[in-house]
Amino acid sequence: MSITMLEVQGLHKKYQNTVAVDDVSFKIDKQDIFGLLGPNGAGKSTTISIISGIIHRDKGEILVEGKNFDKNLKDIKRNMGLVPQDIIIFEDLTAKENLEYFGSLYGINNKTRKHNVDQTLEFIGLTDVANKFPKTFSGGMKRRLNIGCAIVHRPQIIILDEPTVGIDAQSRNHIMESIRKLNQQGATIIYTSHYMEEIQSLCNRLLIIDKGKVVESGNTNELLLKYNLNETYLIMLDKKIQNELCKQLNEIIGVVKCSINEKVLEIEAQANTFSLKHILDVIERTNYKFLSINMKRNNLEDIFLHLTGKTLRD
Amino acid sequence: MIISTFKYTLKREIRDYTSMLLMVFFPAILALIVGNALQGDFQAPKTEKYKVALIEGDMYMESLKSVFAAEAVSNITETIILNNHSEADNALLLGEIHGYIWYDSDEINFVVEDPELQGVAIITFILTQFTRNQNIFTHQNVNYNDYDVIGNRLLETYIQARGLSNNHIPRAFDYYGVTLTVLVCLFGSLYAIKIISDTLIGRKQERLLSVTNRLLPIYIGVLLASILLVAMQISVLLIFYKMVYGVFLGSNYFRLIAILFIFIIFSNLFGLALISVVKDYGIAYTLANIIILGSTFLAGGFVIIDLDHFGAGRLINQLLPNAVCQNVLFSTIYETNSVSFIEYIQVMAAGASILIIVAVLTNKRRLAK
Ligand SMILES: Nc1ncnc2c1ncn2[C@@H]1O[C@H](COP(=O)(O)OP(=O)(O)OP(=O)(O)O)[C@@H](O)[C@H]1O
Ligand SMILES: [Mg+2]
């Protein structure tokens, strides 16, 4: 039995005339990496601001480790680390001093703090520039410091609001790896992003919201399977392909569509019908040889498109 | 939390060299400009002699004549003798004299055309000395235009401002040095505005709110840093004034520093209240500048305007914090006791309480949203 870390019931938040969060409920288990997915203005940051105690909710129940949120807010905050969407660090303090200051604000004592700061610097890969000012940092380094400031007190829950926006692939991979490590060390992670690949590879559970409402939620793999309607194969053959081949392929159970582009076959088939084996059989029987096979699976982007009729990044 | 906020805020601000430059060099440069202008003016005075008429009368007038004939006085004033009031009034209207003096039963009256003229104050001083020596009950300054009794008030202001006491004849810069110091203390509120908006407004505040429920210690830490920085700045300024211009600061340095320190705290609280209400650095900064310069103007820092006609001058002098601060400083430096330290503390405490209440209320409302 897994332990419930955070439980949210019927969360509601309205700004002047925008409903930012509308009846959102979810449950996060200890050591989950929980993905919060949604297009611009979906209400991700608002939801996060509420559960990190920055803004008040209009309605809704929140329990952290089964405890009343409002009554235990002080302790809850000390056990949480929020990495905000914007980079919020002190430009006139060095990387190390930023960590020290945040550490002291989180109330960790001097001795632990020194140790934690050094470890955190190491962890976010900024040991070499510990005594440099953030204004000399690249975007990725600033992002990492932004994360460092939220984990220097070793929180049990780490909330990251689009921590990889606007940085290069290398920094991004570093951040993703760090999050996995933190998770392995026991932290529960809440992660929002626009980058589907990130969420897909990182999160074991996810919640998709749009216009403040929950659209879908569940285990990432189960969701992928549930919406994994079709797979597409791109098969390159050794010679120019005749129409006859497509006719034969179309008769295989599960194959939905077949088209030809010179030497390349594009075949759309229902997922999990073991059609690939039959397709390859037919190709061999008709005296073609295949040089390469590419398979494109449905991803969260497609699921989102399927559910809301729009893409995530527009 | 207070201590670490204080420590790291200090570090941040000291490294922010643009603001350090502004805060330390601005007052020094201001002082240089004003100081040079004033010094030039006072080392080579081109001032016209003050022309005063004495109206013939009894023996008191005779002794007064000899006072005005003395060399020290005749260097500053030019005296003529007239026979009666109507001659004197005529001369005043024609601009031949600036004022006239006559003796009437047990009072010496001094009728002036423009009470703000330097000579008026000098003659007032002479008259005060004179009446004391001659056992004359009192003397009065009378504004020719409205014949209001302004003598006592004028004398008091003059002594406060020019400090004809404590055995020191002030130069202009002694006066402006103190006024400028009060102005720079007020400019210190810009520091508070800057530091608070860098730390506790908008996204930064949200970030801190995700760390702790209690922002009060952070506010206190930040304000303490700001107060210390302004205090350092004022110290630099005072040392500069003393060394470069030899500004007269009296002898009670302890009291002087206490007064300034209290005013720096007040000024920082003003910054806190303003940024709490306005919530926007740019607007708060601009408003602060307008308010600071406006109130300095009203407090008689650079431009002396006669508000007594509206009865407002007295009120401003008693209620406007920087006016009160200036007055208590003059009073301490020249030992005139026109404003007591206790009175000053009371005004500052009242002002500070209002500012704190404003800050608390506006911040409460924001968090509850
Ligand atoms: N302080 C605010 N005042 C008024 N409306 C707001 C405020 N903050 C957010 N909103 C509105 O609430 C809605 C949800 O905003 P939110 O920032 O939570 O979205 P998001 O999912 O984080 O979007 P993004 O991916 O762009 O960060 C938006 O329509 C936004 O305009
Ligand atoms: Mg957001």
Q: Are residues B156 and B173 in the same domain?
A: no
The best mutation among A19, A22, A44, A192 to test binding of ligand 1, ranked by most ligand atoms within 8 Å of the C-beta, falls on A44
Q: Are residues B25 and B75 in the same domain?
A: no
Confidence of residue B310 (pLDDT cuts 50, 70, 90): low
- Report CB contact under 8 Å: B12, A90: yes
* pTM of the predicted protein model: 0.75
Question: A71 at the B interface (CB within 8 A)?
Answer: no
**CA–centroid distance, residue A86 to ligand 2 (Å):** 9
Fill in the amino acid letter for B226. S
Q: Are residues B31 and B108 in the same domain?
A: no
Average per-residue pLDDT in chain A? 89
Q: Is the distance from CB of A176 to CB of A198 less than 8 angstroms? A: yes
- Report CB contact under 8 Å: A92, B368: no
Nearest to B209 among A54, A101, A133 (CB): A54
* Ligand 1 atom closest to the CA of A43, numbered from 1: 18
Q: Are residues B155 and B283 in the same domain?
A: no
Question: B204 at the A interface (CB within 8 A)?
Answer: yes
- Report CB contact under 8 Å: A102, B209: no
* Ligand 1 binding pocket includes A163 (Cβ within 6 Å): no
Q: What's the rounded Cα separation, in Å, for the pair A239 and A37?
A: 44
Q: Are residues B311 and B362 in the same domain?
A: yes
Positions of E strands within A220-275: 230-237, 255-261, 264-270
Mean of the pLDDT values across residues A73-85? 94
* Ligand 1 binding pocket includes A42 (Cβ within 6 Å): yes
CA nearest ligand 1 atom 25, residue: A40
Q: Which of B33-37, B272-276, B320-324 has the lowest mean pLDDT?
A: B33-37
For residue A125, pLDDT over 50 is answered with yes
pLDDT digits (tens, 9 = 90+) for B132-161: 666 555 555 554 443 333 333 334 444 444
pLDDT digits (tens, 9 = 90+) for B326-346: 888 888 887 766 678 898 999
Q: Are residues B126 and B220 in the same domain?
A: no
Q: Which ranges constitute the DSSP H helices of chain A?
A: 44-51, 73-78, 95-105, 110-123, 139-151, 169-184, 196-202, 220-226, 243-250, 275-285, 300-308
For residue B167, pLDDT over 80 is answered with no
Q: By residue range, what is the domain housing residue B14? A: 2-41+169-368
CATH code where residue B136 lies:
3.40.190
CA nearest ligand 1 atom 29, residue: A41
- Nearest-5° angle of CA B298, CA B340, CA B304? 20
The number of distinct structural domains making up chain B is 2
End-to-end CA distance of chain A: 40
Residue that finishes a domain, picked among B122, B147, B162: B162
- What does the block give as tokens for A30? 């200890």
**CA–centroid distance, residue A97 to ligand 2 (Å):** 27
Q: Which of A258-262, B118-122, B252-256 has the lowest mean pLDDT?
A: B118-122
Residue that finishes a domain, picked among B139, B162, B185: B162
Q: Are residues B156 and B223 in the same domain?
A: no
Better-predicted residue by pLDDT, B271 or B202: B271
Q: Are residues B77 and B114 in the same domain?
A: yes
Q: Are residues B72 and B140 in the same domain?
A: yes
Q: Are residues B211 and B108 in the same domain?
A: no
**CA–centroid distance, residue B224 to ligand 2 (Å):** 34
Say what the pLDDT of residue A280 is.
86
Better-predicted residue by pLDDT, A130 or B153: A130
The one-character DSSP state at B48 is P
* Ligand 1 atom closest to the CA of A194, numbered from 1: 25
Confidence of residue B171 (pLDDT cuts 50, 70, 90): low
For residue A71, pLDDT over 50 is answered with yes
For residue B170, pLDDT over 90 is answered with no
Q: Are residues B236 and B156 in the same domain?
A: no
Mean of the pLDDT values across residues A133-157? 94
Residue that finishes a domain, picked among B162, B184, B219: B162
Q: Are residues B116 and B230 in the same domain?
A: no
The one-character DSSP state at A126 is -
The answer to whether the complex's ipTM is over 0.85 is no
Q: Is the distance from CB of A15 to CB of A64 less than 8 angstroms? A: no
* Ligand 1 binding pocket includes A43 (Cβ within 6 Å): yes
Q: Which of A195, A189, A190 minimizes the C-alpha distance to A166?
A: A195
